[in-house]
Structure 1
Amino acid sequence: MKKVIREAWSWISSFAVALALAIVVSVFVVQPYKVEGHSMDPTLADQERIIVSKLPHTFSREPDYGDIVIIDSRVDRERTVKDDFLENPLLQFLASEDEGHALYVKRVIGKPGDELEIRQNKLYRNGQELHESYIKEAMYVGVNEKWVVPKDSVFVMGDNRNNSRDSRQIGYVPLDHVLGKKVFEISWTK
């Protein structure tokens, strides 16, 4: 009987260690993510799966221009490590429903201190027009707008500019709300 108990304990403890390691890796190092919606068309399609590096978030690194990032859209509240754990796919059963919360996939357009402007449906950063080969189609916004990105924040937009909820609506994204950077896409045929 003792041998059976030792064997069972060995299996249970091995499983517990493996689960703990998987959680730590997916919270702080790398995590799969499923794109929901069409705001990143044509770069990323609805339901496409991507692998996200969490290291920039873990080590508080500022993303580069053009990086495709996962953001927490609740820009009006502070984030905690608890949020990182509760958003983890392995632990989502612990999270309560949080209305209005969504993780978005967007592209970094502006960094702290940048002046961004939409003029005649064209995007300018610090007075220079951006030539973005990755956008779906020309923007049609109807009005000219201007933003100056504050310290410790970024400005993000979807590649499908005419169908994207991004910094133009939610505001500047605090750096601690940038949860990770896309490393690569996972493609497979059905």
Structure 2
Amino acid sequence: MLNAIIREIYEWLYSIVIALAIAMVIHIFFLQPTRVSGESMVPTLHNGEYLVVEKWDHIFRNEPNYGDIVIIDSRVLYDRTWLDDAVEPLHNYLAFFDSKLQTKNVWVKRVIGKSGDRLAFHDGKVWRNGEALDEPYINKGEMDYSRQGEVIVPEGCVFCMGDNRNHSTDSRFIGPVPLDHILGKVIW
């Protein structure tokens, strides 16, 4: 009788460990649920909304497309390692239950510029390679931010901005985001 109970417990523990291992592999390499924290992507995304992030492009360091909504590590001078990719899903799970546990360095933003692009900010608009961007997704009103000269996006980086331009900390302030700091693309 005791052996049967021990065996049953062992089988349950074994199944739980296998299920957790599979879930971690899926969340590290393929898909990860996450939650919006803040108002920087209004009107596209709102505080508290749930997202699904595709991680495949992050694993292969693929450059995202213009207009893609991505999850970034805002610590652009920090050297990311594989350990960061393994630990971040754990923080993400815990943040589902308590938003205070959410990491403050993981942001959701939109890709505005790619390697080699020349970006300028004036007249309430973003200019890419000399042409004003048509951005129907941004929050209404002119962008308050302007800057003398142009920003040239370095090789291996992208320039990301929030849709709520007057209330977003983004590449205008932290600089271009290295491709290894693009943690995934929002797909839902």
- Closer, same or farther: CA 90–40 of 1 in aligned 2, 3 Å: closer
After TM superposition, where is structure 1 displaced by more than 6 Å over at least 4 residues in a row?
90-93
Contact 2:122 2:145 in 1 (8 A): no
Contact 1:120 1:143 in 2 (8 A): no
* Residue 7 of structure 1: how far off its partner (Å): 2.0
* Residue 101 of structure 1: how far off its partner (Å): 4.7
* Residue 171 of structure 1: how far off its partner (Å): 0.6
String of CA shifts for 1:20-45, please: whole Å, max 9, x gaps: 11111111111111111110000000
* Residue 70 of structure 1: how far off its partner (Å): 0.3
2:89 is paired with a residue of what secondary structure? coil
* Matched residue, 1:17: 18
* Residue 164 of structure 1: how far off its partner (Å): 0.3
For residues 13-162 of structure 1, the aligned pairs below 5 Å read 13-89=14-90, 101-137=104-140, 138-162=142-166
Contact 2:66 2:111 in 1 (8 A): yes
- Closer, same or farther: CA 64–142 of 1 in aligned 2, 3 Å: closer
**Please, what TM-score do these two structures have when normalized by structure 1?**
0.88
| Rounded Cα–Cα distance in structure 2 between residues aligned with 1:13 and 1:142 | 58
2:187 is paired with a residue of what secondary structure? strand
- Closer, same or farther: CA 80–92 of 1 in aligned 2, 3 Å: farther
Contact 2:120 2:147 in 1 (8 A): no
Q: Count residues in correspondence.
A: 180
* Residue 90 of structure 1: how far off its partner (Å): 6.2
What are structure 2's unaligned runs of at least 5 residues? Answer: 95-102
String of CA shifts for 1:96-146, please: whole Å, max 9, x gaps: xxxx95110000000000001112222111111101000002211254452
- Compare the two structures and name the one with the higher helix fraction: 2
2:90 is paired with a residue of what secondary structure? coil
1:26 is paired with a residue of what secondary structure? helix
2:25 is paired with a residue of what secondary structure? helix
**Percent same amino acid among aligned pairs?**
48
Provide the alpha-carbon RMSD of the alignment: 2.0
Contact 1:119 1:145 in 2 (8 A): no
Residue range with higher mean Cα deviation, 139-148 or 31-40: 139-148
Contact 2:161 2:171 in 1 (8 A): yes
1:124 is paired with a residue of what secondary structure? strand
- Closer, same or farther: CA 62–143 of 1 in aligned 2, 3 Å: closer
Give the AA of the match of 2:130. G
| Rounded Cα–Cα distance in structure 2 between residues aligned with 1:47 and 1:167 | 23
What are structure 1's unaligned runs of at least 5 residues? Answer: 94-99, 185-190
- Closer, same or farther: CA 84–8 of 1 in aligned 2, 3 Å: same
